[in-house]
A = this chain, B = another copy of it.
Amino acid sequence: MDREKKKIRSFEVAELAQISRSTVSRALAGDPRISEDTRERVLAAAAELGYQPNLIARGLKNQSTGIVGVVVTDLNNPYHAHALQLLIEKLGARRLAPLVFVGDTAEGAESAIERLMSYQVDAVIALAAPFSSQIVRACKAGRKPLVLMNRYDGDETVNVICGDSISAGAMVADHLVGQGARTFAYFAGEDSTTISLDRETGFVKRLNENGFALSARVSSRYSHAHALKVAPELLSSGAQAVFCANDTLAFALIDAVRQSPAAAVSPLIVGYDNSALASWPIYDLTSVDQNLEEMTSLTVETAHAIVIASDTPPKRHTIKPYLVERGSTRIQSA
């Protein structure tokens, strides 16, 4: 008999507690003006009936739904999937509910935002989205607060939580130089987001400061198959160290080395994202960890601040990434 008969409305709780609906609402909201005695009666009644307020009705009344829109691009990328999981968990901890859409094209992103607006979300989080300019525009048009995670935009009015790609690039340069490399290459992705350009910029700049230069640069789509195809070109440059825009590219490069004829000595290789695979023994890849834990925490904190007070001024935060050193950059005793 644990099947509750029907949906309970605040009216029923009020009836049982011999009190008005407003008092029920206030008691449950923790309004200090309610007497201890009535509060207890209300709480007891609510518990007995298993009352759960209808958040849709509350949202309509309050002009605040507690729903946060999340726009992602590609959950097949483990990095995005992991970020989404963390976001969902952290939003949940703050009693916010994520309405999730995939926006993997410019039009898709815009229509996702429109759908979100119809649902009166309190804020939008865009996760490493290309097309950030469309998203920014759509959110401004609809006056929806936006938090851009791991992407940034010239617009000063949106919130941005972003990894420090410049310093990541520099960190990688220092590490590779320290490991004794003297010639360097960059394996680029095909996207042209500021954030991915920054990785390269930071890398090259620090190389220069150390008296070195980039001797090769190849770019590839972010798919293992494609990267595997163009990797030989990169290898033929003979660079002693390669910084890859992404772990996927790095894995493909390692595979290419293994497939290459003769016992070619592998260059030192560094990836980006520190995905699970990087720690597996077959790859054992040195990689930049963007500290998603902190990045998602700050993102959710920012979104929450907006929900609480919609006039919260825009924030910009930068997260320091760190390098996880593994075998792929260990000097090979030949």
Residue from B99, B114, B120, B277 within 8 A of A99 (CB atoms): B99
From 54 to 78 in chain A, residues with beta carbon under 8 angstroms from any chain B beta carbon are: 54-57, 59-60, 65, 67, 74-76, 78
User: In the complex where A53-B118, A120-B56 touch, is A85 in contact with B92 (Cβ < 8 A)?
Assistant: no
Q: Does A162 contact B (CB under 8 A)?
A: no
Q: Does A33 contact B (CB under 8 A)?
A: no
Among A55, A56, A255, find the residue whose CB has the most chain B CB atoms closer than 10 A.
A56
Against B, the Cβ 8 Å flags (1 = close, 0 = not) of A142-185 are: 11000000000000000000000000000000000000000000
Please name the residue on chain B nearest to A258 by beta carbon: B282
Q: Does A209 contact B (CB under 8 A)?
A: no
User: In the complex where A97-B119, A280-B255 touch, is A102 in contact with B89 (Cβ < 8 A)?
Assistant: yes
User: A75–B84 contact, CB under 8 A?
Assistant: yes
Q: Does A4 contact B (CB under 8 A)?
A: yes
Q: Does A100 contact B (CB under 8 A)?
A: yes
Residue from B2, B54, B141 within 8 A of A4 (CB atoms): B141
Among A6, A78, A97, A276, find the residue whose CB has the most chain B CB atoms closer than 10 A.
A97
* In the bound complex, CA of A141 to CA of B2 (Å): 7
User: B276–A224 contact, CB under 8 A?
Assistant: yes
Residue from B57, B75, B101 within 8 A of A92 (CB atoms): B101
Please name the residue on chain B nearest to A119 by beta carbon: B55
* In the bound complex, CA of A2 to CA of B141 (Å): 7
Please name the residue on chain B nearest to A88 by beta carbon: B102
Residue from B2, B59, B115, B280 within 8 A of A56 (CB atoms): B59
Please name the residue on chain B nearest to A89 by beta carbon: B102
Against B, the Cβ 8 Å flags (1 = close, 0 = not) of A87-123 are: 0110010000111111000000000101101111000
Interface size on A, as a range, is 35 or more
User: B118–A52 contact, CB under 8 A?
Assistant: yes
* In the bound complex, CA of A281 to CA of B255 (Å): 8
Q: Does A140 contact B (CB under 8 A)?
A: yes
A156 to chain B, nearest CB (A): 16
Q: Does A18 contact B (CB under 8 A)?
A: no
User: A88–B101 contact, CB under 8 A?
Assistant: yes
User: In the complex where A52-B114, A224-B276 touch, is A85 in contact with B75 (Cβ < 8 A)?
Assistant: yes
* In the bound complex, CA of A85 to CA of B70 (Å): 13
Q: Does A82 contact B (CB under 8 A)?
A: yes
Q: Does A228 contact B (CB under 8 A)?
A: yes
From 194 to 247 in chain A, residues with beta carbon under 8 angstroms from any chain B beta carbon are: 224, 228
Q: Does A19 contact B (CB under 8 A)?
A: no
User: A75–B75 contact, CB under 8 A?
Assistant: yes
Q: Which B residues are CB-close (under 8 A) to A114?
A: 52
User: B82–A76 contact, CB under 8 A?
Assistant: yes
A99 to chain B, nearest CB (A): 6
A–B complex contacts, Cβ < 8 Å, 5 sampled = A3-B141, A67-B99, A76-B85, A224-B280, A258-B282
